[in-house]
Amino acid sequence: MAQGHDHPLLFARTLLAEQLHWIHGAPPLFPFDATAKTRYRQKDQACSIQPVSENQHKITFREPQRAITPGQSIVFYQDDICLGGAIIVGAEKE
């Protein structure tokens, strides 16, 4: 078990997400750069989104993210515009 708020095992740069939904319907051309949040009050985090299958996408963050949690949402933005979101499947360890 990892103890401590900043334990290295709590951080990951990559996650898998499914059930992507784009507010304007059509997905962007991939790979696609945006910002994202995995927590409500989190600051926007730079990331890249690319498909790995028809149903799953891989999101790679510029900086490691703390406590990526399966079942939670990830929401994508460009500036102040919400582009859409997805459900987190899990973090990928490096």
Residue 85 belongs to domain with CATH number: 2.40.30.10
| Residue 45 domain flag | yes
Flag whether 73 is in a domain. Answer: yes
* Residue 33 pLDDT: 97
Is 51 exposed, middle or buried (CB count within 10 Å of its CB: 0-12, 13-18, 19+)?
Answer: middle
In a domain, 3, yes or no: no
88, part of any domain: yes
At 16, which amino acid appears? L
Determine, yes or no, domain membership for 63: yes
Q: Per-residue pLDDT tens for 76-85? A: 999 989 999 9
Which residue segment(s) compose the domain that 47 sits in?
8-92
- State the total domains in the chain: 1
Neighbouring C-beta atoms of residue 39, cutoff 10 Å: 16
pTM of the predicted structure, to 2 decimals: 0.89
10 Å CB burial of residue 59 (0-12, 13-18, 19+) is buried
Determine, yes or no, domain membership for 2. no
Is residue 39 domain-resident? Answer: yes
